[in-house]
Structure 1
Amino acid sequence: MPPKRSIADHRSFDDTALLKDEIAPEDAVHLAMSAGDIVLVIDEAGTIVDGSADLTGFPDLPQWIGEKWQDTTTSESWPKIEALLAVKKTNGEAPAARQVNHKGSSGDIPVSYRLLRLSGGALRLALGRDMRDAAALQLRLLQAQQSLERDYLRLRQLETRYRLLFEMSGEPVLILDSENRRIVEANPAAHTLLLAKPGSLIGSKFLAWFDRTAREPLIGLLGAALTSTSVSPINANLAVKGTKLELNATGFRQIGKLFVLIRFNRHARVENAPETAVMDTLEAMPDAFVLTDANWHIVAANTAFAELTGVASINQIRGQPLGQFVGRPGIDLDLISSQLQKQGYARNVNSVIGANDAGQGEPIELSAVQTGKESPHIGLVIRPIARRLGDLPPMPQEMPRSVEQLTELVGRMSLKDIVRESTDLIERLCIEAALKYTSDNRASAAEILGLSRQSLYSKLHRYGLGNLPADAE
């Protein structure tokens, strides 16, 4: 809020009579004309009785004389004119200024007025300051602000597009700070390639991810990228597993700092002909193949798995839990994990793919194997069996008793005996379903049913389901 301009705060003249005697009427007129860009003499009725201004800036002033002051202004200025005219006494303080808009032949004229009541009380002086220059300056400021906002929005959109392309790119990319060689940006493909947890690359030392023997060549590559526009790629082994990668480096400057863009050639890793042939074979095989880490997060997969899950590219699902696509929650992968821990492999396990709230998914059969001890990985071969099951003739199922047969016992047996018969029926059906689900693997079936092996063997003997092993007798 601007400070109040009070006459009482000013030092008074020592001899006011001197000024009174020396100021002639002509001097008073000149003083009034100099007090503002436009000066109007207003009577008690609010009528302009006289005025002074530069007619080049206020060409309509002669027509305003004799009219009501508010009639010379736009309608939104009328309350301000009324407020100015309503001031009776200023108490030694300069009255508050009000900005009004005069109606001119060439457009509206903004003027900031202060109203001073003369000592006689019949007339008042409206001292006005032309605000057109200030309004033009405000307009330029507003236009500059709008231009900055448009530029800021355009930069935000560009940044969003850059971030989307960076994150969705299948090419592994890193951005390094040239001063400390730390990673400042890394896309998901780079995290997958370097076997790093999502987000763990940011802020880490770039050289720490590579074998010690490769660090000197890497330092030379980074230095060359900052001084040359054409740098030959180099090969370097990762610190984990010794995987060989091909790296390309490009230097660039941003906000006064130097950075290095690192791009990896994923096809240059593991330059070994037999292993390359294996990877080509897995990619071309008709059955789906997927490789996960020990936590069942997808590391790699072939095209058949992408087609089976309905994704456009493996890069879209790399790093995601396999359980989002394969198996029923809390059942299938837990069963496979149990078999892998006991045997190191799981064979011909029936499961589903694409199960969600909208459907039960497509039946599949999968086999899995776990390799490695320090950083174990799990490989799975998956094949759909819906068509194969549909081609098989329906198998007759002989139940010991049907629901209708059980209800016919009412009146001939007690409720206790009927309940026991119903329990036996349900128990046998569940055991048969568990054996079918686990491909007749009785250890896994016992685990699914929450039974011990001995208890399951006892129930198999009771219901005559299959031959028992010799040690279970």
Structure 2
Amino acid sequence: MGDLDADQAARVICAAADIALVLDAHGVVRDVAVAKADLGLGGAGAWLGRPWAETVTDDSRPKIQALMHDALADIPTGWRQVSYPGPEGAADIPVLYAAVKVGAGGRVVAVGRDLRSVASMQQRLLLAQQTVERDYARLRHLETRYRLLFKLSSEAVLFIDSASRKIVEANPAATALFGDAGKSLVGRVFPHGLETEDADALETQLASVRAIGRAEDVTARLGPARREVMVSAALFRFERNVQFLVRLSPHGADADGTLVTHTRARLLEVVDNVPDGVVVTDMDGTILSANTAFLDFVQVATEAQVRGRPLGRFIGRPGVDMTPLIANLRELETVRQFTTVIHGDVGGSTTVEISAVAVPHADRPCLGFILRAVGERDEGEGSGVTAVTAPRSVEQLTELVGRVSLKEIIRETNDMIEKLCIQAALELTGDNRASAAEMLGLSRQSLYVKLRRYNLGDLSSAGTS
């Protein structure tokens, strides 16, 4: 290539580089050629006559001096990255330079390559690496929290391989629940330590979860104490493995799954078995929960039959007793000795005395009622209906004000007067039913009906008196 002239040599250099500089022995720029129009060095023409080191950023000047020193000493220079100040507010422009001495006058030619694409890629790589490191740190924190929660949870939790049914992981609560303190549950086949019928129920539950993704909770007994637990199961995928997440909640957990203490569990058991009816409703009187005695009052077999129904369906007359009762509860938060009648689903009724309390500031506001029977059941004539004991004094009537409507009070007053008149007639006639009926202006049959209504006298001899 010895026959190349200066112009041809310049074109070769420009074609091989994004930018080319011709420098004298003192590093002063004598010529500039920029082959890449979008390089962003629009003022490169102003470099002529200026030292090359003054056109770059401060941290790149030592690199320029090293390039010039090696080139003038005929030492092969390596590629060095230098930076030019970018437009105002923009990033610096990186250029990769190599320099070589040409001719006998100490001239140096520096050729440069645009590194912006490489720098952008490096920047993206750095950001990606930082993102990965942040995600990795977050995953470590999540795993630490998970491990801590898994260890401290009071509920037994198991991870079970869906294919082999082997326990993959178990928390300390599960080990204590199974009564295997000091022994690891990992590797054992689930269900472990259960009665045969309970194991079959759990197998059915897991098969249902695997097939359709959900199943009803089942009750099982496990451990040496045969402790009853509620078993819930869910399915999830981990990489290519499918596992069951099994949660075992001891009986004594409330409806939303929150565990209660043993003392609270005993209290709930007592409340469920007291002879007085106990029922909890929402603030509008819809039944949320009830004990066994209340179910006996309303003549149903299970709590599910009353849950979600208005309490007013069973108490007094619809809208008459419950409306003022709930209004007083919301205002006063407590009501004592509210006398009314509770009706059963099959027709029976019982006179009860209600004490109630409102809990409006709880997470779930509710009303609580305690019902105590005060009437006596009348089983005569096979009616199965309890006789309602009429008020026995004016004081009892006045106590009804605010509890029931005026129409109801008037009816109770008539009943009280009628009962007192019948009692007086029987006393005056020496319990002679025929004379008492004549005195009261009633037929004997009407008198017998009223005697039966008010549960007065011995009705077994009604046909012979």
TM-score normalised according to structure 2 size: 0.50
Give the equivalent residue in structure 2 for 1:250: 234
> Is 1:160 aligned with 2:141?
no
Q: Secondary structure at the match of 1:129?
A: strand
Number of the residue aligned with 1:280: 266
User: Please, which runs of 5 or more residues in structure 2 have no aligned partner?
Assistant: 254-261, 271-465
1:218 to 2:218 alignment: no
Report 1:47-126 matches (<5 A): 47-53=28-34, 54-57=36-39, 58-87=41-70, 88-89=72-73, 95-106=77-88, 107=90, 108-126=92-110
Q: Distance in 2 between matches of 1:104 and 1:45?
A: 26
Q: Which amino acid aligns with 1:280?
A: R
What do the CA deviations read for 1:130-151 (whole angstroms, capped 9, x no partner)? 1111111111111122222222
CA apart distance, 1:242? 4.4
Deviation at 1:83, TM superposition (A): 0.9
Residue 21 of structure 2 aligns with an amino acid whose one-letter code is L
Counting only pairs closer than 5 Å after superposition, residues 281-296 of structure 1 correspond to structure 2 as none
The residue that corresponds to 2:211 in the other structure is 227
Note the alpha carbon deviations across 1:171-216, whole angstroms, 9 max, x for none. Answer: 1111111122122222221111111225712233223333455444
Residues 150-189 of structure 1 aligned to structure 2 (within 5 Å): 150-189=134-173
Match of 2:364 in 1: none
1:121–1:214 CA distance, 2 compared to 1 (3 A): farther
Query: Would you say the 8 A contact 1:167–1:188 is kept in 2?
Result: yes
Q: 1:321-367 CA distances to partner (integer Å, 9 max, x unpaired)?
A: xxxxxxxxxxxxxxxxxxxxxxxxxxxxxxxxxxxxxxxxxxxxxxx
Q: Secondary structure at the match of 1:39?
A: strand
Matched residues, number: 256
1:34 to 11, 15, 34: 15
CA contact (8 A) 2:20 2:33 kept: yes
Task: Decide whether aligned partners of structure 1 residues 253 and 104 sit closer, same or farther in structure 2, where only a CA change above 3 A counts.
Answer: closer
Q: Which has the larger radius of gyration?
A: 2
Correspondent of 2:251 among 255, 262, 267: 267
Query: By how many angstroms is 1:125 displaced?
Result: 0.8
Q: Note the alpha carbon deviations across 1:387-443, whole angstroms, 9 max, x for none.
A: xxxxxxxxxxxxxxxxxxxxxxxxxxxxxxxxxxxxxxxxxxxxxxxxxxxxxxxxx
Paired residues of 1:175 and 1:262 also in contact (CA < 8 A) = yes
Residues 27-47 of structure 1: CA distance to partner in whole angstroms, max 9, x if unpaired?
Answer: 211101112111011110011
- Structure 1 gaps of 5+ residues are 1-18, 270-275, 285-473
Q: Please give the TM-score of this superposition, normalised by the length of structure 1.
A: 0.49
Q: What SS is found at the alignment partner of 1:207?
A: coil
Structure 2: which amino acid aligns with 1:181? R
Shift of the alpha carbon at 1:244?
4.2
Give the Cα separation in 2 of the matches to 1:66 and 1:134.
Answer: 31
CA contact (8 A) 1:114 1:126 kept: yes
3-state SS of 2:2 partner: helix
What secondary structure does 1:157 align onto?
helix
1:340-379 correspondence runs (5 A): none
Conserved 8 A contact 1:178-1:258: yes
Amino acid at match of 1:114: A
- Report the alpha carbon displacement of residue 163 of structure 1 after superposing the two structures with TM: 2.4
Question: In the alignment, which residue of structure 2 is the partner of 1:369?
Answer: none
- Give the deviation of 1:243 after TM superposition: 4.2
Over 3 Å counting, the alpha-carbon distance change for 1:267 and 1:241 in structure 2 is closer
Equivalent residue number for residue 131 of structure 1: 115
- Distance 1:217-1:115 versus aligned 2 partners, 3 A rule: same
Shift of residue 90, structure 1, vs aligned partner: 5.0
Question: Does the 8 Å contact 2:179/2:223 carry over to 1?
Answer: no
CA distance in 1, matches of 2:6, 2:157: 85
1:419-438 equivalence runs, <5 A: none
Answering whether residue 6 of structure 2 is matched by residue 25 of structure 1, we say yes
Tell me how far 1:128 sits from its aligned partner.
0.6
Contact 1:60 1:105 in 2 (8 A): no
Superposed CA RMSD in Å reads 2.9
Question: Equivalents in 2 of 1:142, 1:98: separation in Å?
Answer: 21
Question: Relative to 1, partners in 2 of residues 1:183 and 1:172: Cα closer, same or farther, differing over 3 Å?
Answer: same
